[in-house]
Structure 1
Amino acid sequence: MKVNPQINTTSATVEIFKTNVTHNQLANKIVADFKQLYPEYRINFDLEDCDKILRIESYTGIDILGILNYGSLNNLEINLIDY
Structure 2
Amino acid sequence: MVEVFKTDVKNCEDAKALIVQIQENFDGYIANFDLEDCDLILRVEYLTGSVMAEPIISLLKQNGFHAEILVDDFQPVVTPFINK
Fold agreement, TM-score > 0.5:
yes
Per the TM alignment, residue 29 of structure 1 is displaced from its structure 2 partner at its CA by 0.1
CA distance in 1, matches of 2:62, 2:15: 16
CA distance in 2, matches of 1:41, 1:71: 15
Structure 2 unaligned blocks of 5 or more: 73-84
Tell which structure's C-alpha radius of gyration is larger: 2
Aligned match of 2:65: 76
Q: Which residue of 47, 59, 62 maps to 2:51?
A: 62
TM-score (norm 1): 0.80
Number of aligned residue pairs:
71
Q: Secondary structure at the match of 2:5?
A: strand
Divergent runs of 4+, >4 A: none
Per the TM alignment, residue 39 of structure 1 is displaced from its structure 2 partner at its CA by 2.6
Percent same amino acid among aligned pairs?
Answer: 31
Per the TM alignment, residue 71 of structure 1 is displaced from its structure 2 partner at its CA by 2.0
Aligned match of 2:8: 20
CA contact (8 A) 2:29 2:46 kept: yes
Q: CA RMSD in A?
A: 1.0
